[in-house]
Amino acid sequence: MYSRSVKPDKPGLEQQIKMIEAGNIESNSLFELYTALQLPVDLFDLTAGFTIFNLNEIGFKLPFVSSSYRPNFFSFLFVGDGKGRYTIDDQTFEVVPHSIYFTNPSNYRTFSWNEINDIILITFDESFLKKYIGEDVYTDFPFLLTELVRPKVVSDDFFQDVKLINQQLLDTYLRHSPSKYKIIGHLLAVILFQIKEHIWQDYNPIYEGNRSSQIVISFKRLLEQHYRDLSAGKAEIAFRVQDYAFAQNLHPNYLSSVIKSKTGKNITTWISEKSLIEARSLLKNSTRSIKEITYKLGFTETAHFSNFFKKHTGLSPLRYRQSIQQSN
């Protein structure tokens, strides 16, 4: 089992908690939240977008109650032995032994712990999923879009099966290997398939939650499908906000308001992030000119696209393409 050999040089836990208790945290990166809760950031790879820890190694002062925060990452808790509770918006769930708890980047939440003996925490972001599991990850695992999150108590046999995979993940995470995250991606995919089969076999996110939740899920699905179509050449130009609103028979302002309130991100941010991913792919994997890519991604001027791309990557589209070609 994992044991920390180096303790990070940073403020104590109580001081860290005071730093975040001043108010709600709009969006936590993994590193920010781990630092605030004094997780072992000495082993944290800022570029990977994946972590795994056993919470009994962290040193929570029990009973522990977190401040309210809104994460920008997915997480799984595998509770072998422990007690606590999670509150998301106005819903509170007890965490008990042999339960599996899933959360995604969505609403505000708090958590508390009364006992921590054997609890594995796995976190990962969307970029990790897309890079190491696949671009169609939401099609393969639709439950990742869930808005209503409830802990699932599972059978002893199933929990033991998952526990063995978690141990492999822990062991791999602590190794220095050039294939480390490829292996982790495969192991995480195995867990996701196991969970899909045993917990969410018939899950359909469209029928879950209230009207706002359905709007968010429909938007996310359309966003994913549209950019897959762009990549495959089935769509000519990127959708604008009004296009996504029209698809759901909504006013653009109303759609924007729902997306912001439910996810913490503006709809334009969601679209921009997808546009950036597609821009990188087109510059790397196609021979399209910068002008063609500009039009395909919905920019009116090449200069606007170049400024957008450089703002987020530090390189112009041309320099980015050249750097990719030089590295091959």
Q: Are 231 and 279 in contact (CB under 8 A)?
A: no
Higher pLDDT among residues 12 and 256, named by residue:
256
Instruction: Retrieve residue 214's tokens.
Output: 């359905």
Q: What is the mean pLDDT of residues 211-235?
A: 83
Provide the pLDDT confidence category of residue 191 given band limits of 50, 70 and 90: very high
Provide the pLDDT confidence category of residue 205 given band limits of 50, 70 and 90: low
**How does DSSP assign 202-220, residue by residue?**
T--GGGSS-HHHHHHHHHH
Name the residue with tokens 């991913």.
277
Q: According to the model, what pLDDT value does residue 64 have?
A: 87
- Tens of pLDDT, residue by residue over 135-177, are 778 778 878 877 666 788 999 999 999 999 999 999 999 888 8
Provide the pLDDT confidence category of residue 323 given band limits of 50, 70 and 90: confident
- Tens of pLDDT, residue by residue over 236-254, are 888 999 999 988 888 888 7
In this prediction, what percent of the chain has a pLDDT beyond 70? 81
Q: Are strands 74-88 and 109-124 parallel, antiparallel or unpaired?
A: antiparallel
Q: Are 293 and 320 in contact (CB under 8 A)?
A: no
Up-side HSE of residue 181: CA atoms within 13 Å toward CB? Answer: 15
In this prediction, what percent of the chain has a pLDDT beyond 90? 32
Higher pLDDT among residues 79 and 15, named by residue:
79
Contacts of 284 (CB under 8 A, 6+ apart): 321, 324
SS3 124: strand
- Tens of pLDDT, residue by residue over 266-294, are 899 999 988 998 888 889 888 889 999 99
